[in-house]
Amino acid sequence: MTNTQPLTEPVVQRPPAAGPAARPKAAWRLMLPTMTPWLATGLALVAGIVLFGVLAPFLVGDPDRIRDVGLTGPSGGLWLGTTQTGQDVFAQLAFATRGSLQIGLIVGVLATVLSAFFGIYGAYLGGVADEAFSLLSNVFLVIPGLPLVIVISGFVPRESRGLWTIAVVLALTSWAASARVLRAQTLSVRNRDYVAAAKLSGERPWRVIAVEILPNLLPVLASQFVFAVIAAVLGEAGLSFLGLGASGSSTLGTMLFYAQNGFALPLGAWWWFAPPGLVIALFGTGLALINFSIDEIVDPKLKNARLHRRRTRLAAKGGAA
């Protein structure tokens, strides 16, 4: 959540070593999240769904093949049953997951690049450029995204509504919140002494940004990227569900669109409309859980609270024994 960013600059304190056996961590290890059950769950969910989306399309049959069985529930041969034209829902799910992941990745990268440009570069330049960039991102932040995307998709004729059109539109409407977060972080880094030293020694702006500033922002960038992917998958699903997605594409949203228009709900065909939403929800949850751990790097207070809890628990256990 972007609104969880601390207002004040977080105070970085190394938690005291848990015991005499604890080895000091290498500096780069501090940039990595600590393994917690929640992080493990998140990684497992995301890895599972990504593997499913990448590999399963090669293993399942043709998702469009029409069988003479009509709408049937899950059975041994067809794990998730069929649609009302007898198409294999499981095979469709595999291809749709791939489609959704693809658009999520493209939009995630595009939106992060846009937000990095407007957030970091603007804040680094300062002055009028910063004011202008910051105004621009604030304006984009308050203009509601999906209605704007719907209006744009409504004007583009169906035949020219390709994958990249949708990706660019989704990216253009979703970078603003991250840009604001990145700007706040950059402002706090920009005025540190080593940045000033790099500037004074005549380093070019892009090098100061890339070498001195960017490493400090990596956790924030990572968490904003993860959010951008979630938002893109959700946004594309909504758009496709309304029948406004990329034409000819197959994503989890288009599956839900066909399920809704094929009267899956009145017919009680839960195996048709439940799995696509569940995949989106689990994928989003997995990414959000990963973000939880990244948040602990951005705001060490959260981590300290967790470590403190663990120490009290261990102490209580040790006292009882």
Q: Figure out which of the listed residues 48, 248, 313, 314 binds other proteins, where binding follows CB under 8 A.
A: 313
Q: Figure out which of the listed residues 94, 111, 222, 230 binds other proteins, where binding follows CB under 8 A.
A: 230
Is the separation of the CB atoms in 80 and 271 below 8 Å?
yes
Token pair belonging to 243: 């029948």
- Of 23-31, 51-59, 193-201, 267-275, which segment contacts other proteins by CB under 8 A? 267-275
148 part of the interface to other proteins, by CB under 8 A: yes
- State in angstroms the smallest separation of the CB of 308 from other proteins: 8
- State in angstroms the smallest separation of the CB of 152 from other proteins: 6
Q: Figure out which of the listed residues 89, 182, 289, 294 binds other proteins, where binding follows CB under 8 A.
A: 289
Q: Which residues are bridge partners to 82 per DSSP? A: 88
Residue type, 161: R
144 part of the interface to other proteins, by CB under 8 A: yes
Burial 181-218 (b: 16+ CB within 10 A, else e): bbbbbbbebbeeeebeebeeeebeeeebbeebbeebbe
**For other proteins, which is the closer residue by CB, 5 or 203?**
5
C-alpha pair distances (Å), 82 with each of 99, 110, 243, 265, 271: 20, 36, 21, 14, 8
Closest to 295 (Cα-Cα) out of 226, 234, 202:
226
Q: What is Dmax (Cα atoms) for the chain?
A: 75
Return residues touching other proteins (CB under 8 A): 1-7, 38, 135, 138-139, 141-148, 150-157, 160, 177, 230, 234-235, 237-238, 241-244, 256, 260, 265-266, 268, 270, 273-274, 276-277, 280-285, 287-289, 292, 295, 299, 301-302, 304-306, 308-309, 312-313
